[in-house]
């Protein structure tokens, strides 16, 4: 009996995805089916992962009631608003993979990441270098002051251009770095009573204590370029992310831009839609009360204008606090 399966009507695509999930699942058997009712005879009593196209999402969600241990990985070539809305309600939808229509299958590394993180939610999070091709270059900054933040942002723009990003894309990466660092330096730090220390005034100059300093990384393998910011607090929650993104999408659709300017939830209302739409893939990995990692990927081979029309991937992983050793 299987703990991982693929629900996909295109047999060739399903088999490709199953091979990736098999590898990420330590060579577990991964059957591929084209109808959800066939899964009942294949699943073990405690299945873990079902990968499916968004076209099957309603049927796949119905399976969650039958299998409390099951998580969904969903891919789509269309816009993702509906999937995001369903994922907001259902925390066991952990990965939404935007599938560029010109690719033969969803990005394999995203499928592998989503599968591995569900199977080992408390396992070691992959490093940025693990998510890029072999030979990638990684640059790192640890800004402690507002001035060092601005210097790091300038460096991101400069090195993004050196890595091959068009000028406008390099500027957008600088804007993203600024937004991520603002969240990490002003909204994330908490005092001993878990109250925000600096978010009351995001314009003030600050000098963080050593234990509060975030880490900013820029990585590139020549095909992708990625930005990652990690803060040592782990205060970001799933509802901050999904509510912020959906509020931003709805505001853009309706033209009510003021709706985006909601800074509740640690600034997520203002910046989360900017962070989400900045790249092709967004990965958020939270260890509660310990660490938040936010990573955004750009595809250097896709025209920026075309990229804005493609569905954006969102992965949200959350691990409970570590038990004292």
- In tens, the pLDDT along 155-187 reads 999 999 999 999 999 999 999 999 999 999 999
Q: What is the CATH number of domain 4-119?
A: 3.40.50.2300
Q: What is the pLDDT of residue 19?
A: 98
Q: What is the pLDDT of residue 262?
A: 44
Q: At what angle do helices 11-24 and 108-119 cross, to 10 degrees?
A: 50
The matching CATH number, chosen from 3.20.20.140, 3.40.190.290, 3.30.360.10, 3.30.565.10, for 128-319 is: 3.30.565.10
Greater model confidence, 291 or 271: 291
pTM of the complete model: 0.94
* C-alpha span between 177 and 183 (Å, rounded): 10
Q: In what order do the strands lie in the sheet with 224-231?
A: 32-33, 4-7, 49-53, 71-76, 93-98, 313-319, 281-287, 291-299, 224-231, 215-220, 137-141
Greater model confidence, 17 or 271: 17
* 264: confidence class by pLDDT, cuts 50, 70, 90: very low
* 153: confidence class by pLDDT, cuts 50, 70, 90: very high
Burial class of residue 325 in the structure, from the number of CB atoms within 10 Å of its CB (0-12 exposed, 13-18 middle, 19+ buried):
exposed
Q: Indicate the average pLDDT of the chain.
A: 92
Q: What is the pLDDT of residue 252?
A: 81
Answer yes or no: same fold for 4-119 and 128-319: no
**Span of 107-111, 125-129, 196-200, 255-259 with lowest mean pLDDT:** 255-259
* C-alpha span between 60 and 81 (Å, rounded): 17
Where are the domains positioned within the chain? 4-119, 128-319
């Amino acid at each position: 009996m299987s703990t991982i399966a693929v629900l996909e009507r295109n047999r060739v695509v399903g088999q490709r995805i199953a091979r990736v999930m098999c590898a990420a699942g330590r060579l577990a058997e991964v059957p591929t089916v084209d109808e959800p009712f066939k899964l009942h005879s294949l699943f073990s009593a405690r299945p873990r992962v079902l990968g499916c196209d968004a076209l099957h999402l309603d049927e796949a969600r119905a399976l969650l009631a039958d299998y409390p241990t099951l998580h969904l990985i969903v891919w789509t070539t269309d816009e993702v608003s509906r999937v995001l809305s369903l994922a907001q309600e259902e925390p066991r939808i952990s990965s939404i993979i935007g599938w560029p229509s010109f690719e033969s299958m969803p990005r394999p590394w995203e499928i592998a990441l989503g599968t591995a993180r569900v199977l080992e939610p408390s396992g070691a999070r992959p490093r940025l270098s693990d998510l890029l091709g072999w030979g990638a270059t990684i640059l790192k900054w640890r800004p402690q002051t507002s001035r060092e933040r601005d210097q790091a942002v300038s460096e991101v723009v400069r090195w993004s251009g050196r890595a091959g990003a068009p000028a406008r894309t390099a500027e957008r990466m600088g804007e993203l770095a600024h937004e991520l660092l603002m969240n990490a330096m002003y909204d994330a730090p908490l005092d001993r009573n878990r109250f925000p220390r600096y978010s009351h005034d995001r314009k003030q100059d600050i000098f963080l204590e050593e234990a509060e300093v975030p880490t900013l990384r820029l990585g590139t393998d020549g095909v992708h370029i990625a930005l990652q910011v990690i803060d040592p607090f782990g205060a970001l929650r799933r509802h901050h992310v999904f509510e912020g993104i959906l509020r931003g999408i709805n505001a853009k659709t309706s033209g009510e831009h003021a709706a985006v300017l909601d800074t509740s939830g640690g600034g997520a209302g203002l910046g989360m839609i900017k962070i989400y739409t900045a790249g092709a893939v967004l990965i958020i990995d939270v260890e509660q009360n310990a660490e938040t990692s936010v990573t955004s990927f750009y595809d250097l081979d896709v025209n920026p204008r075309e990229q804005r029309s493609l569905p954006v991937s969102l992965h949200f992983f959350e691990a409970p606090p570590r038990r004292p050793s």
